Amino acid sequence: ALLFPSGMEKVVACLYKRPNALCRLICFPWAGGGTVRLAQWGRLFNSCIEVYSVRLPGRETRFKEPFAKDMMTVVNEIASVLLEDLQEKPFAFFGHSFGSYISFAVALHLKEKYGLEPVHLFISGAHAPHSESFLLIKRVHDTEDEDIVAHLKLLGGTPSELLQNEEFRKHLILIMREDIRVLQTFSFEKADRNIPLSCDITCFDGSEDIEHDLEAWGDVTTGDISIYKLPGGHFYLLEPANEIFLMKHITRCIENADL
């Protein structure tokens, strides 16, 4: 029997299948990122939580596919592939950086179209989508390849020996450009009367990273918001000690969500 209907294994990596889990944690990677690191989280959680890591077109096993042309395309694909699973049992979202915006866009779409909502939204290293700081990111246009490489070095998270490999570097720059382009097609207008979500939101950030406008995430939900700063830069979440903190905290939040 197929564990995943077709389309699913294209869009989702699930390394540790737990059919009896009470809740699924859907993880959305950073710009230029693949599924591997977050899919590995599956082994760190207890048997109550099954981890899915989302894979966008143009990378890993999907490298022959054209990149998504805008955020709506990304959201529609993820939502349609995951819909049955999301209707079947409770789910939470975790996104890092670019992945935070995708997770939020998917959450908005699910709420609007199907009345579905994550039990908890975990945001990492990202400005609120209606903040001034986010609008500034969207203005980043034709950056030179060298600037992108310098930016990647500054952020960390990519082994320097990989950046020295010309083919890898070219491919990563291409994916980064495409991901930034997708991000530029996403806009969220905050309406005072209509707060889109009702789930709790937790924001994580690296203490050495640039300041992100985290408080403003509270505007997008009627639920509670909490903020945690963990030691490290933009890729603080790759540090084993921080990873353990994230797992424990995410597990506690999901367990407290009255599934």
Is residue 84 included in any domain, yes or no? yes
Type and span of the H or E element at 72: helix 71-88
Q: Say if residue 62 is exposed, middle or buried (CB neighbours under 10 Å; 0-12, 13-18, 19+).
A: middle
**Average pLDDT of 51-56?**
96
Is the pLDDT reported for residue 152 higher than 90? Answer: no
- DSSP class of residue 163 equals H
Number of helices (H) and strands (E) in the chain: give both, helices first. Answer: 9, 7
Tokens 């797992």 -> residue = 247
Is residue 223 included in any domain, yes or no? yes
Backbone angles phi and psi of 209, in degrees to 5: -75, 170
Between 79 and 160, name the one with better pLDDT: 79
Q: So what's the pLDDT on residue 149? A: 79
Is the pLDDT reported for residue 192 higher than 90? Answer: no
Q: Amino acid letter at 133?
A: S
pLDDT tens per residue across span 18-31: 999 999 999 999 98
Backbone angles phi and psi of 193, in degrees to 5: -80, -25
CATH number at residue 239: 3.40.50.1820
Give the whole-number percent of the chain exceeding pLDDT 90: 68
Between 188 and 225, name the one with better pLDDT: 225
Is residue 18 included in any domain, yes or no? yes
With a CB cutoff of 8 Å and minimum separation 6, the contacts of 259 are 22, 23, 90, 119
What is the rounded CA–CA span in Å between residue 90 and residue 25? 9
Is residue 1 included in any domain, yes or no? no
How many domains does one find in the chain?
1
156 — pLDDT class (breaks 50, 70, 90): confident
Is residue 62 included in any domain, yes or no? yes
Q: So what's the pLDDT on residue 151? A: 75
pLDDT tens per residue across span 116-136: 999 999 999 999 999 988 877
Is residue 180 included in any domain, yes or no? yes
Is the pLDDT reported for residue 167 higher than 60? Answer: yes
Is the pLDDT reported for residue 1 higher than 50? Answer: no
- Quote the pTM value: 0.92
Q: So what's the pLDDT on residue 78? A: 96
First and final C-alpha spacing in the chain: 28
Is residue 109 included in any domain, yes or no? yes
Per the structure, the complete domain to which residue 173 belongs is given by 6-256
DSSP per residue, 79-126: HHHHHHHHHHS-EEEEEETHHHHHHHHHHHHHHHHH----SEEEEES-
What is the rounded CA–CA span in Å between residue 163 and residue 149? 8
Kindly list the catalytic residues.
97, 234
